[in-house]
Amino acid sequence: MNDLTHLDSKGRAQMVDVGAKEVSQRIATAEAVISMQPETLAMIAEGKHKKGDVFAVARIAGIQAAKKCSDLIPLCHPLMLSSVNVDLEADSSKSQVNIKATCKLAGQTGVEMEALTAASIAALTIYDMCKAVDRGMTISQVQLLEKSGGKSGRWSRT
């Protein structure tokens, strides 16, 4: 098992020094799922929410969250992301929205946290916009799907 890199030899929190790492193309994709009442999903999918386009707002929130990840999670490096893509798909058979966020950059550290943050905040934004009509929504399956780049190379959940 690898040592925890965010702790120094005395067990104190530290920001990992990535200065000696090689720059490589790094990509990470994460997902989140938000389940809701069928009526709530229909309202979103049909664009009938009085607050506007729920998917558009959630997409922008996810992109903004990825850009602000280092402000939200201690010890994360501020990164110059080259791309953030947030896809939202209504699944009426399961009464849920599937969210996938992909972050990319050429850099010395990975973008897993940025992708996870983007997916999470997109789901939270949907909850916020729809809570007046459905407080029972559930956010689940926040997880990394795959990452590539860096010394550890490619990893995939599938």
- Within a domain: 31: no
Q: Domain of 106?
A: 36-144
- Within a domain: 13: no
- Within a domain: 114: yes
- Within a domain: 28: no
What's residue 109's pLDDT? 87
**Residue 114 labeled ligand binder:** yes
Residue pair 114/84 in contact (Cβ under 8 Å)? The answer is yes
Residue 98 pLDDT level (bands cut at 50, 70, 90) = very high
Q: What average pLDDT does the segment 107-113 reach?
A: 91
3 pLDDT more than 70: no
Identity at 120, one-letter amino acid code: S
Q: Which has more confidence, 103 or 108? A: 103
Q: The CATH number of the domain where 52 resides is what?
A: 3.30.70.640
- Within a domain: 23: no
What's residue 2's pLDDT? 57
- Cα 135 to Cα 35, 126, 131, 138: the distances in Å are 11, 11, 5, 9
What's residue 84's pLDDT? 98
**Residue 49 labeled ligand binder:** no
Q: What percent of the chain has pLDDT over 70?
A: 95
- Within a domain: 14: no
Number of domains making up the chain: 1
Classify residue 52 as left (phi > 0), alpha (psi -120 to 50) or beta: left
Q: pTM of whole model > 0.75? A: yes
18 pLDDT more than 80: no
**Residue 75 labeled ligand binder:** yes
Q: Which has more confidence, 50 or 62? A: 62
What's residue 52's pLDDT? 82
Which H helix or E strand runs over 57?
Answer: helix 54-67
What's residue 81's pLDDT? 97
What's residue 4's pLDDT? 59
- Within a domain: 111: yes
As a whole number, the mean pLDDT across the chain is 92
Tell me if residue 87 is catalytic: no
- Cα 44 to Cα 85, 87, 136: the distances in Å are 20, 15, 16
The closest of 70, 76, 67, 81 to 15, measured between CA atoms, is: 76
Task: Assign 3-state DSSP to the chain and report helix, strand, coil percentages, each to 5.
Answer: 30, 30, 40
Residue with tokens 């990535």: 18
